[in-house]
Amino acid sequence: MSETVITFQNVTKKFAFQSQKTFKEFLPALIRGEETSKGFTALDNISFEIKKGESVGIIGPNGSGKSTILKLIAGVMSPTTGKIQVKGQISPLIELGAGMHPELTGRENIYLNGAILGLKRKQIDANLQSIIDFSEIAEFIDQPVKHYSSGMYMRLAFAIAIHVNPEILIVDEILAVGDDAFQKKCFRKMEEFKRNKITIIFVSHSLEQVKMFCDKAIYINHSKLISQGEVDNVCQEYEQTINKK
Amino acid sequence: MPGVTNGVRVKFSSFQSLVNCYKDQSHKKVFGDKIFRTIKASTCFQNQSWMVYNELMLAIVKEIRDIIKWRELLAQMVGREVKARYKQSILGYFWIILNPLAQMLVMSFAFSIILRIPTNATGNIPYSVFLFVALLPWTLFANSLSSACSSLVNSASLITKVYFPRTILVLSTVSAKMIDFALALSVLVIYMIVYQLPVTLNILWVIPIFLIQQIFTMGLSLFFAAANLLYRDIQYLLSLLLVLWMYVTPVIYPADLVPEKYQLVFQLNPMAVIINAYRQTVLGGGMPNLLSISIALAVSLLVLLIGFAYFKSREKIFSDNI
């Protein structure tokens, strides 16, 4: 029995929006004692567990709360109520290279992003060649990143993230940008991670990719957890809901 | 806000019953129950403030440990600030020196040739040096604050995606400005050599004074960065505040011009004390006023504590609100 690395216990996440847009509206409302903010529930009482070495796909339509779950796992947000436990080094691959500075060169960005993901300088030195090789952009590595195409951006970001030696890898939609050859390469790398018992959380709108790669899936709709379990069952349920509409 | 009014009312009523109890010692038996409750409530309140204090100290220790753990990121972030700023500019790093130099020349012209501000009793110091000694640390202060203020907002994409101690974002901007300051300082050194200004060992006082300045800057930076993330009005307010603040600080005029009755306000403004102390030690060759410096240190530490506590209390909702 492998250990649980991620636990969500009755997690609810609410966002507050200011209902009055301007100060002119806000001040009278405050004096009258009206509510100045209204809540929006992004996640409603969600519980699940992810065990070490599992590959879990999170599926659901746009705005259902998938990214919020990833942000909660990555620790950049805290839940409104409920409890979250995460064990292990996380490498988040949420959207394209969040820490990239457009004016810096690819090489400088490798060091910067490596540090953001918690790597030591020595570790980056040791992995530098391997990162450049994986990203396949060796000839542009000393160019400012602002001249890169979005595909090159993503290659570099992915190459850095997989060299963090994560215990938990979070992959959010990013594979959509790369060409087929690079996507295949990424999946090969992720298969390798899977064999090495690294937990992978995978968010994609492509059910094919989820079915092909994940063992389990979590289906979320309208902030609520609809179903979880074996990937084929969950995907089937999701497909049925789509077809009904 | 019903919660707040309730809280105030409760505190007020318990305070009043406490006063009543002290007034009427003879009614002690009748009010026995009430005394007991009041005392319990007040000790409870004391415990709470003790807990808040304890929590704050723990948070500080934890933050320092985190920053040490993430020191490589701090170094990379400082590098990013310094490296990226003057990319695609012809003069590059030369701007760091050119900027304060040009500012100093313009202001010297305005205030020594047109307005003729007296530089103080020590006499034969040229106004440009007199100004520069104060202008450099003031520029460091103003630049640090205004860029720290927008540091969190500018790193929105990082804050919503990756976890690392958020104080690093503020700390790195403040540190990057210190590198600018060190470069600009070389101009002052050259200037002083050219004018052959006498320097005594008291110039070493500059180090503790500088530390106090950075403590004060860091405290304000943490506060403004967190506040600006929640309300963008803060950055506009800050730029207005900085202009006003420069005029109540003896940057362009000597501290002795401050009238006696405003001396207290002057003492409570750490920047005024700090700027004045730089002049006393670098140009005057004397000791700084130790009492004023101690007050400045106390105020700065207090500001750092408050700034840090505010930053920490808002940290959890950063990524929700950015």
- pLDDT tens track of chain A, all 245 residues? 578 888 888 888 888 776 555 666 777 777 777 766 667 888 888 899 898 888 999 988 888 888 888 888 888 888 888 888 888 777 766 555 677 888 888 898 899 888 888 888 888 999 999 999 988 888 898 988 889 887 888 888 888 888 887 888 888 776 666 678 888 888 888 888 889 888 988 888 888 888 888 889 999 888 888 888 888 888 888 888 888 76
What domain count does chain A have?
Answer: 1
Q: Considering CB atoms only, which of A77, A99, A121 is closest to B72?
A: A121
The set of residues, in sequence order, having a beta carbon less than 8 Å from that of A222 and lying 6+ positions away, is A64
Q: Flag if A118 and B158 touch (Cβ within 8 Å).
A: no
CA atoms within 13 A on the CB side of B240: 5
CA distances from A65 to A61, A209, A219, B96 (A): 9, 20, 10, 46
Task: Examine residue A22 and state whether it is found in any structural domain, yes or no.
Answer: no
The boundaries of the domain holding residue A201 are 4-10+48-244
> Has residue A32 been placed in a domain?
no
Q: For residue B20, what pLDDT is reported?
A: 44
Residue A30 lies in a domain: no
Supply the pLDDT for residue B122.
56
Q: Which of A76, A115, A144 sits opposite B73 (nearest CB)?
A: A115
Q: Which domain CATH number covers A192? A: 3.40.50.300
Q: Which of chain B's residues have a Cβ under 8 Å away from the Cβ of A116?
A: 73, 76, 158, 162, 164
Is residue A179 domain-resident?
Answer: yes
Question: Which of B6, B66, B72 should be substituted to probe chain A, the one whose Cβ sees the most A Cβ atoms within 10 Å?
Answer: B72
Cβ-defined contact of A116 to B164 (cutoff 8 Å): yes
Cross-chain CB nearest to A104 (options B84, B161, B319): B84
Give the ipTM: 0.81
Three-state SS letters, chain B: CHHHHHHHHHHHHHHHHHHHHHHCHHHHCCCHHHHHHHHHHHHHHHHHHHHHHHHHHHHHHHHHHHHHHCHHHHHHHHHHHHHHHCCCCCCCCHHHHHHHHHHHHHHHHHHHHHCCCCCCCCCCCCHHHHHHHHHHHHHHHHHHHHHHHCHHHHCHHHHCCCCCCCHHHHHHHHHHHHHHHHHHHHHHHHHHHHCCCCCCHHHHHHHHHHHHHHHHHHHHHHHHHHHHHHCCHHHHHHHHHHHHHHHHCCCCCCHHHCCHHHHHHHHHCHHHHHHHHHHHHHCCCCCCCHHHHHHHHHHHHHHHHHHHHHHHHHHCCHHHHC
- Does residue A139 sit within a domain? yes
Interface test with A, best of B5, B161, B171, B236 (most A CBs within 10 A): B161
Q: Which amino acid is at A108?
A: E
Domain boundaries, chain B: 1-69, 90-321
Residue found under tokens 């215990």: A167
| pLDDT by 10s per residue, chain B, length 322 | 333 333 333 344 444 444 444 444 433 333 434 444 444 444 444 556 666 788 888 889 999 998 998 999 999 999 888 888 877 788 878 888 888 889 888 988 888 888 887 776 556 778 888 899 999 999 999 999 999 999 999 888 888 888 889 999 999 999 999 998 998 898 889 888 888 888 888 889 999 999 999 999 999 999 999 999 988 889 999 999 999 999 999 998 888 888 888 888 888 899 999 999 999 898 887 888 899 999 999 999 999 999 999 999 888 888 887 7
A103 inside domain: yes
- The reported pLDDT for the residue numbered B166 is 92
Residue B283 sits at φ, ψ, to 5 deg, of: -90, -40
Residue A69 forms part of a structural domain: yes
Partners of A76 on chain B (C-beta within 8 Å) are: 159-163, 319
- Asked whether residue A35 is domain-assigned, the answer is no
